[in-house]
Amino acid sequence: MNEPQFPVVYITDELARRTAALLDSFASRRPSEGVVYWFGIETALAAVITTLVVPDASTGDGAVHTSVQTNAKAIGVVTGTALVYIGQAHSHPGRHVAHSCVDDQETFAIFDGALSVVVPWFGRYGLRIDKCGIYRHLGGKFCRIENPQSHFRILPAFADLRSRNEETFVHGE
């Protein structure tokens, strides 16, 4: 399929770890899927996730549902800023990461280019691109991306490139 050109979405490893931990927090009392909305800065070439928003989601029936009021509160977090909705991550209980019919129809903010990442095992083992289902809303529906790196990449939040011979003390550690 000829995919339309949308910006590659970037997230730091720190925000990816935090996303997975937040997804797992939905399953802390009982097995429940979770959801985290991603907001950030978008240009024609790149979208950079800067902000995680966890909606007050209903997770009682094995799926994630959010109300119009809940989603309005999520948008309110970034109202008046340059941040835009980029997509979301949500979890599934096992290794199965296919979008369900509910995922296709109930995902918040469905529009061409929206990113949806399905994280296995409630996010308990992190957010690894090779284990997740990466979807983009294209031509009116969510499509699984066969080459995820062309749409979604995890970057280091920090890189210390000093040689090991030098003192590497960081204040506060």
Q: Do the beta carbons of residue 116 and residue 142 sit within 8 Å?
A: yes
**Domains annotated on the chain, with CATH:** 8-155 (3.40.140.10)
pLDDT value of position 165: 60
pTM: 0.88
Instruction: Give the integer Cα–Cα distance in Å for 152 and 37.
Output: 15
pLDDT value of position 1: 45
What are the strands of the beta sheet with 133-138, ordered from one edge?
141-144, 133-138, 115-119, 84-91, 35-42, 46-53, 8-12, 152-155
pLDDT value of position 64: 84
pLDDT value of position 5: 82
pLDDT value of position 145: 93
Question: What is the mean pLDDT for each group of 10 consecutive residues in the chain (173 residues)?
Answer: 75 97 91 93 95 89 83 95 96 91 79 94 95 93 91 94 68 56
Longest alpha-carbon distance in the chain: 56
Q: Which two tokens stand for residue 36?
A: 């985290």
Q: φ and ψ at 68, to 5 degrees?
A: -60, -40
pLDDT value of position 170: 59
